[in-house]
Amino acid sequence: MKPLIAANWKMHKTTREALKFVDHFKVCRTKDREVLICAPFTDLPDLCLALSRCDIKLGAQNMHYRDKGAMTGEISAPMIKPYVDYVILGHSERRSFESDKVVNKKVLSALKHGIKPVMCVGETLAERRKKQHKRKIRKQVLEGLKKVKDVSKVVIAYEPLWAIGSGKTASPEQAEEMHAYIRHVLKEKYGKKKADSVRIIYGGSVKAGNIKQLMKKENINGVLVGGASLSAAKFKKIIDY
Ligand code: PGA
């Protein structure tokens, strides 16, 4: 399975800044790994054009689950579909106002429109301390994947909340334990063959200095990078780990 190295720019980069960033990747050829940039909505049309000659895929960071309607300020799957291959759904920075049920509706809508969801799951430090982290992850995975048949199109991002933007990465062993657990939950629901086809990627303070050790682990099939993906030089080092 090809590892997925994904950037999550969050609310960073105007279109001008985004185009300047991808200028550094014009000759980027990435045979043995898939590289993805999840950019703000406003950057998507220009980035889509700019990236058309290189191997970097484009993703959005959210979308509404309805195709259209009276939903002021929202963006739907058909609106982003011309530009993206992927969409991040249920990022922890949104989950405080988005239930598992809403995330599930978004996952189903993305799949219906041929966009691959990167569904984020993760526990808080308090949940981990109370040893509730596995229960939390199991619930998020199973509820998020309700009625999903072709799970191989879904990417699951394990992002422990205590590691996001904190500089405190989960150790490769901690991450692998949770990735193996997610694989186990997928096996129970879909069987071994399908479960093994799902990419489970790690997010939370990933940088050039720790990606190599993380990627050595059997069940870590890629990374979702926030802060360190904002600099072209740093992101290049991460891609070339
Ligand atoms: P970080 O963010 O790399 O800055 O910790 C990761 C994420 O939130 O996806």
Read off the pLDDT band of 166 (50, 70, 90): confident
Ligand 1 mean position, distance from CA 66 (Å): 27
The pLDDT of residue 28 is 65
Q: How far is the CA of 67 from the centre of ligand 1 (A)?
A: 28
CB atoms within 10 A of CB 191: 11
Mean pLDDT of 60-80: 98
User: Which is the closest atom of ligand 1 to the Cα of 228?
Assistant: 3
Q: What percent of the chain has pLDDT over 90?
A: 91
| Per-residue pLDDT at 119 | 98
Determine the Cα angle at 63 with ends 14 and 194, to 5°: 120
Q: How far is the CA of 68 from the centre of ligand 1 (A)?
A: 30
What pLDDT is attached to residue 54?
Answer: 84
Q: What is the pLDDT of residue 169?
A: 85
100-131 pLDDT tens trace: 999 999 999 999 999 999 999 999 999 999 99
Query: Between these two residues, 239 and 165, which has the higher pLDDT value?
Result: 239
- Look at residue 22 in the predicted model and tell me its pLDDT: 94
Q: Which residue's CA is the nearest one to ligand 1's atom 6?
A: 226
Average pLDDT, the chain: 96
Instruction: Kindly give the residue spans of alpha helices, DSSP state H, lying in the chain.
Output: 15-23, 44-50, 77-80, 92-95, 100-112, 125-129, 133-144, 172-190, 192-196, 208-215, 232-239
* pLDDT value, residue 180: 98
Residues belonging to the active site: 91, 159
63 touches ligand 1 (CB under 6 Å): no
| Ligand 1 atom at minimal distance to the Cα of residue 227 | 4
The two tokens of residue 155 are 């990417």
Query: What is the rounded CA–CA span in Å between residue 238 and residue 85?
Result: 21
Mean per-residue pLDDT for 1-16? 97
